[in-house]
Amino acid sequence: MSKYYVNKFLYTVDRDPELMKRYAEDPRNLVATWEQSIGPRLIGNDVEESTVVALTDHEREALINHDYVALFEMGAHFFLNLTMYIGIFDEPYIQKSGPLSFQREFAAKLQHWKGRDYPTVEV
């Protein structure tokens, strides 16, 4: 498991409008592109590559499926996990069901964690 690399995906995609658009529209392709040419770059350096980390199959599938519940459960950082999927789902949910409807569905899907220790976000 590489929590760090999952967070790196969320961080680098969420901050870039073009990558966000591609991740919303075609997540499988964007995740493949990211693993090949974006994830391995050291942050802030387009020349140097890092060979330290890789996504597991479970992590890759969670990212491809926009599966924020699985990401929460594997300890992806709560702020990145929320911001990313607000970026993708907030607008369509507002159109359909009103303000904060996505955020409340997100919370509802995690109700089984209420009162328990959440998976740690420490990397």
Partner 1 sequence: MPPKQQMPQAPEWKRKVEAYRETLAAAKPDILVMVGSDHFHQIFLDNCPQFLIGKAPRYDATFYNEEREFGIPKYVLEGDEDMSRFMHQSLMDQSFDFAFSNELKIDHSIICPIITVRPQNDLPVVPIYTNIFAPPLHSPKRFYELGRAIRKAIEDYPSDKRVAAIGTGHLSLELGGPRQFMETGPDPVFDRQAIEWLRTGDVDAILANVTHKSMVESGNATQGFLNFILMLGVAGPEGADYVDNLDLFHTMEAYFTWYPKEQAA
Instruction: Point out which residues bind partner 1 (CB under 8 A).
Output: 4, 7-8, 11, 14-17, 42-43, 68, 72, 77-83, 86-87, 90, 100, 103-104, 106-108, 110-114, 118, 120-123
Q: Compare residues 41 and 61 and give the one whose CB is closer to partner 1.
A: 41
CB neighbours of residue 18 within 10 Å: 8
Q: How far is the CB of 61 from partner 1 (least distance, A)?
A: 19
In contact, 63 and 8? CB cutoff 8 Å = no
**Minimum separation from the CB atom of position 77 to partner 1 (A):** 7
Which residues share a beta bridge with 49? 41
Are the beta carbons of 35 and 24 closer than 8 angstroms? Answer: no
DSSP calls for 42-82: PTT-SS-B--S----HHHHHHHHTT-HHHHHHTT--HHHHH
User: Smallest distance, Å, CB 102 to partner 1?
Assistant: 9
Residue 98 phi/psi, 5-degree rounding, is 95, 170
Closer Cβ to partner 1, 31 or 81, answer by number: 81
Nearer of residues 96 and 112 to partner 1, judged by Cβ: 112
Question: In whole angstroms, how close is the CB of 108 to partner 1 at the nearest point?
Answer: 8
